[in-house]
Structure 1
Amino acid sequence: MCGFLGMLTSGGNASTFVDAATRALPCMRHRGPDEAGTWNDESAIFGFNRLSIVDLEHSHQPLVWGPADTPERYTLIFNGEIYNYVELRAELKEAGHTFHTEGDSETIVVGYHHWGEDVVEHLRGMFAFAIWDTLEQVMFVGRDQFGIKPLFYATSPVGTVFASEKKSILEMAPELGLDLSLDRRAIEHYVDLQYVPEPESLHSAIRRVESGCTVTLRPGEEVVAKRYFKPQFPITAVPKGAEQDLFDRIAKVMEDSVEKHMRADVTVGSFLSGGIDSTAIATLAKRHNPNLLTFTTGFEREGYSEVDVAAESAAAIGVEHIVKVVSPEEYASAIPKIMWYLDDPVADPSLVPLYFVAQEARKHVKVVLSGEGADELFGGYTIYKEPLSLAPFEKLPSPLLKGLRQLSRVLPDGVKGKSLLDRGTQTMEERYYGNARSFSFEQMERVIPWAKPEWDHKEVTAPIYQVSQDMDPVARMQHLDLFTWMRGDILVKADKINMANSLELRVPFLDKEVFAVAQTIPHELKVSNGTTKYALRKAMEQIVPPHVLHRKKLGFPVPMRHWLAGDELFGWAQQTINESQTDEIFNRKAVLEMLREHRDGVSDHSRRLWTVLAFMIWHGIFVEHRIDPQIEEKDYPVNL
């Protein structure tokens, strides 16, 4: 686990940029405080910050490897974990290759020498890596199937630079000659979706390598990207009476995934909320670590904490449980720091409690497991029930649907049945764009006068929907979320917020072998009997405590609606809006009106306000350079 940056120069003058790369590395020291290093030849530069997890005394990076005849042919930088590295090493040794370390990093470069670009098909894990082949003069870059580990890049006439965090590229911008103007299209997408969708970033010159893609790069040439992971949810059926076999396969693959994800030479803990996902992971992890520590967070306000249920689960599992309670004051004070770590804003209030529980966990462990990805793979979001509730509309003739659509538009907000008419008279492509719904276009125009309707969410989702036309409705929603909400929100906060605390987060549900089983679940075993994740719940019946099996999903709920309307955060929000220098982007008067309407109970604007406030703080740090995120040097625990 680490943070890395690399540069492939256009003119074979890499030494010219070594000082800039060295200056940019400390921007992500939090990703790898254990050691740092650089490497360069005439064409390429690699820089690395290491968080030592496997093969602590060796596996230093940048890692140089080659066959006997060219022992320094390849240089690798790698962020992540390869969970099947033991099996891959055995296979590659059998093929005659030699290893010099005991870690997982070397399996990537040896695998590349053996399989070429197909090496990514063999890797089971989370990863972003770059390999420089000095013989062929080609850079090969890969990112994991689901986008668990981040990778930004920018290209200019002097070369292409890529990094685990965007701020390192921003630090090198003067030497690269990058134009750091903001991308208005990406801003509108952010306001619409609550995150910046891949491959965009808020800076026009900086983009992201997409999840499940590789990049091939040669000096002076353009970046060539190729998608290798194309997730499918084929329409399948389970023979009557064979459901238990499917449930058993789910349980078996989850047991195997957790066992693989426990591989480490340091202490591994687990996050634990009150839901089935994290409880299943923690229960399975306990089988491999009898002294497992679990961690959760919550708030003092009643109804916004899973602390009690998590504690009940911990007691049932038999693990030591540690709780962090977050106050409104702590919450507000941490926001600038969190926005700095994020690189681009994510308008998800649960980022803040996650930051504090990760900070607490890092006092005890170096790695934690978590339940991200279960909803997308197994059909866990309540919205996935929608195709069932809207099925009657599909039988109505087009003229009647059109009339009902017109009726829904004239009904006032809040009228019973309006929402059902709105959604039932739209196609899935029109109505569903993931779990984030903050602004309608009309609401967006109120705060962003320059907003363009052609830049709305459909610009992001249409190409994804095009691929999923042969899938069932629930599968289409899952497929969309894999490419939007999950990689734009869920996995960004999972990586950035935990790495802000030098804590490695592992997600056993997002495993390619787990996906291979999950993709075969028919829709009637995802949303069934009034619940979601039905097949997963059945598979976990003999594993998780009974009180968790059918509990409603909460995650890390945040009392944002109450705080923004009350003394806790209203004044803070008002001050943030008044001090922000974003008049070219937002209508300040309209945003303040929204805040007052929210306080007075006219309308619940909490999600919309949080989206704007998060951007304003981000802008104050990265554009105005007015807000100090107060990033301090840390005393990192050792030998965990």
Structure 2
Amino acid sequence: MCGYFGVFSSAQLNISDEQIIKAKESLKDRNQETEDSYRDNHLWMDVNGANMPLINSRYLVVLDGKIYNNKQIQDKLERKGYLFETGSDIEVIANLFQESGTDCFKELRGKFAIVIWDCEEKILYAARDHFGMKPLYFLQNENECYVASEKKAIMQLQPHTELNKEALQQYFSFQYVPPPMTLANNVYCLEPGHFLIQTLEHPLKKHRYFHASFQPVDGNEKQIINRIQEVLVDSVASHVQKEASIGAFLSGGIDSSLLVGIAREISPSIKTFSVGFEEYGYSEIPLAKETATKLEVENYSHLIQPEEFVEKLPTILSYLDDPLADPASIPLYIAAELAKEHVDVVLSGEGADELFGGYNIYREYESLKVFQKIPETLLRWINVLARIFPDGMTGKSFLQRGTTPLNKRYIGNAKIFEEKEKRNLLKEYDEQYQYQQITSPLFQRVEKDHPAQQMQYIDIHTWLPGDILLKANRMTGAHLLDVRTPFLDKEVFEVAQKIPVKYKLTDNQTKVILRKAAMRFVPGDVIDRKKLGFPVPVSKWLRKELYDWAQRIILESKTEYLLQKSQCLKLLVDHAYGYHDNGRKLWTILVFMLWHKLNIEELEGDNKKGGLFL
């Protein structure tokens, strides 16, 4: 893990020592002892937590991440005559780049954000891994290009960037800022599976080297199960390698249990970590401990209290460049804190749901099949009627979903505010920034696919990098804990992308074929457990324990130039009295208000010019 930032100039590099110091300060919380920097006429590069030697006297390579097929690549290159002094990931990347150019990114198996400076040709390259496990931010102006591991470093180099109103509006639907946007105008997060090229003569260009899409091929179920088992064993072994201390997050579900079941055969001393809440139905600790006992591995657990939950929130937001209103961020942060007391590397099950069909919403097409037999004219009338029904009325949601095309209503696993609700919430709602602006181009690529496969595709390209992997990377990185996600391996994906929907989903079960593959590694009673997710009692707490806290944040927040505070307070009161469950909507508002306080109010003070500048 390392923090980095770089400045490229097509003219003579002109950057002040003060800017450099501020950018370094923004990354100092990584608490790394190693620091290195490089400067020539066109580039400044600074790294916190790693060294960046010149390889072959030509390539400067910065790597945030880990390459799991390092040895295989090195062996291949040595057979071609390449010599290695250290065999480090950086040296392997530099030699592979010299051999294959930008095609090298396709071969890398791992999590990475890579910056390469070709000192001879004066060309800057930057690449992000296949699924977006490591972030890479960039900004380009007339003569300069900035790259960084965190947006805050770029903000120190280019201060007074305007707030991106489109990104803000989308945040309130998605609960995160959908990539590649950020809340800062002109600062972007590079999409997974892409790389950048910047030369002295030409503007920044972006290219795709990997496209996560599903291409099902019908086959024998037993053969598919065997292939899943083979590739997962290989992936877990690659991710565990020869680590002295290895751990895993363990819930009561199939994904983490499967990883632990495989990993313990490689590393019998693996430790597991679980967190939960005292509230009934909001803790998988008992199931996790039961699973750990059957797998014969140690388990450490922690019960989270409402006070601790709120107390950690400002610190957690300080590790995020943009607001993320996924309540699961807090228990993940606390689980990482617990794990770091015992291990340096932890396995986690991110990606299994998106690859193997794990969300219950993916089975929705079966329950809505009845609407396919209804004439289109009648469907429109039913839709109009359903809109008239009061919110919360039994059957309203079913009728609306059944009479609304998938590409008009599905935006991913979290959908917080509808467009009509955002019109009431935002001071400056813009009709052109509706959530379909994000999802429509994605749906167009998969319009002929099975509905469940379309939803998987949307999630992989929005929800996975924008929420799931963002919180996994930042919450573990806050404790300098190295998280590894064996499901999100390019070799695993090559198997998963070919599995037909009929093997992934049935009328009453998700991840069907993955469960069958797991029978070899986990106890039988774990196989058919329903997905609990990572439940957090935010809605319950906002009615009682956290009501006063939430009310105070709304009243004290200086976001009235962006949000209708009266609407925010109404949502809170209606929720407290049980008129509506506004828990997730309120949490999305509260997280933004706290983020605003940390990133705008406290930093800019009286000079923030109406709050329009970050």
TM-score range, shorter chain: over 0.9
Helix, strand or coil: the match of 1:578?
Answer: helix
Select 1:308's aligned residue among 286, 292, 310.
286
Equivalent residue for 1:233?
214
Mapped to 2, the partners of 1:401 and 1:136 lie a distance apart of 61
Deviation at 1:158, TM superposition (A): 5.0
Equivalent residue for 1:601?
578
Helix, strand or coil: the match of 2:125?
Answer: strand
Letter in 1 for 2:162: S
Change (3 A) 1:569 1:523: same
Change (3 A) 1:524 1:32: farther
Equivalent residue for 2:587?
610
Deviation at 1:557, TM superposition (A): 1.0
Residues 323-338 of structure 1 aligned to structure 2 (within 5 Å):
323-338=301-316
Equivalent residue for 1:62?
52
Deviation at 1:336, TM superposition (A): 1.0
Mapped to 1, the partners of 2:454 and 2:20 lie a distance apart of 42
Equivalent residue for 1:556?
534
Deviation at 1:626, TM superposition (A): 6.7
Residues 512-551 of structure 1 aligned to structure 2 (within 5 Å):
512-528=490-506, 530-551=508-529
Mapped to 1, the partners of 2:242 and 2:206 lie a distance apart of 32
Residues 115-126 of structure 1 aligned to structure 2 (within 5 Å):
115-126=100-111
Mapped to 1, the partners of 2:31 and 2:45 lie a distance apart of 15
Equivalent residue for 1:205?
186
Letter in 1 for 2:38: W
Residues 347-366 of structure 1 aligned to structure 2 (within 5 Å):
347-366=325-344
Equivalent residue for 1:471?
449
Contact 1:64/1:76 (8 A) holds in 2? yes
Residues 430-469 of structure 1 aligned to structure 2 (within 5 Å):
430-469=408-447
Contact 1:159/1:219 (8 A) holds in 2? no
Mapped to 2, the partners of 1:265 and 1:259 lie a distance apart of 11
Change (3 A) 1:381 1:202: same
Letter in 2 for 1:223: L
Change (3 A) 1:231 1:463: same
Contact 1:30/1:499 (8 A) holds in 2? no
Mapped to 1, the partners of 2:366 and 2:468 lie a distance apart of 26
Equivalent residue for 1:511?
489
Deviation at 1:545, TM superposition (A): 1.5
Contact 1:270/1:292 (8 A) holds in 2? yes
* Deviation per residue, 1:313-346 (Å, 9 max, x gap): 1111111111122111111111111111011011
Deviation at 1:543, TM superposition (A): 0.8
Mapped to 1, the partners of 2:18 and 2:146 lie a distance apart of 14
Deviation at 1:147, TM superposition (A): 0.6
Equivalent residue for 1:384?
362
Contact 1:192/1:457 (8 A) holds in 2? yes
Mapped to 2, the partners of 1:477 and 1:581 lie a distance apart of 37
Equivalent residue for 2:176?
195
Mapped to 2, the partners of 1:309 and 1:508 lie a distance apart of 22
Equivalent residue for 1:9?
9
Contact 2:8/2:42 (8 A) holds in 1? yes
Deviation at 1:27, TM superposition (A): 2.3
Equivalent residue for 1:496?
474
Mapped to 2, the partners of 1:626 and 1:7 lie a distance apart of 23
Could you say what the CA RMSD is over the residues aligned between the two structures, in angstroms?
1.6
Letter in 2 for 1:92: L
Mapped to 2, the partners of 1:220 and 1:8 lie a distance apart of 12
Query: Number of residues paired by the alignment?
Result: 605
Contact 2:34/2:51 (8 A) holds in 1? no
Contact 2:257/2:522 (8 A) holds in 1? yes
Helix, strand or coil: the match of 1:552?
Answer: coil
Equivalent residue for 2:407?
429
Deviation at 1:542, TM superposition (A): 1.5
Deviation at 1:453, TM superposition (A): 3.0
Select 1:86's aligned residue among 68, 71, 95.
71
1:100 and 2:85 aligned: yes
Deviation at 1:22, TM superposition (A): 4.2
Equivalent residue for 2:129?
144
Mapped to 2, the partners of 1:626 and 1:181 lie a distance apart of 14
Letter in 2 for 1:126: K
Using the size of structure 2 for normalisation, the TM-score is 0.96
1:282 and 2:272 aligned: no
Deviation at 1:560, TM superposition (A): 0.5
Helix, strand or coil: the match of 1:253?
Answer: helix
Contact 2:60/2:117 (8 A) holds in 1? yes
Deviation at 1:383, TM superposition (A): 0.1
Equivalent residue for 2:320?
342
1:294 and 2:272 aligned: yes
Contact 2:366/2:507 (8 A) holds in 1? no
Letter in 2 for 1:585: L
* Deviation per residue, 1:130-187 (Å, 9 max, x gap): 100011111111101111100111123451111111111122224xxxx421011000
- The answer for unaligned runs of 5 or more in structure 2 is 606-614
Contact 1:338/1:497 (8 A) holds in 2? yes
Structure 1's consecutive aligned runs of 4 or more residues displaced over 3 angstroms after TM superposition are: 16-19, 29-32
Contact 1:22/1:38 (8 A) holds in 2? no
Deviation at 1:17, TM superposition (A): 4.2
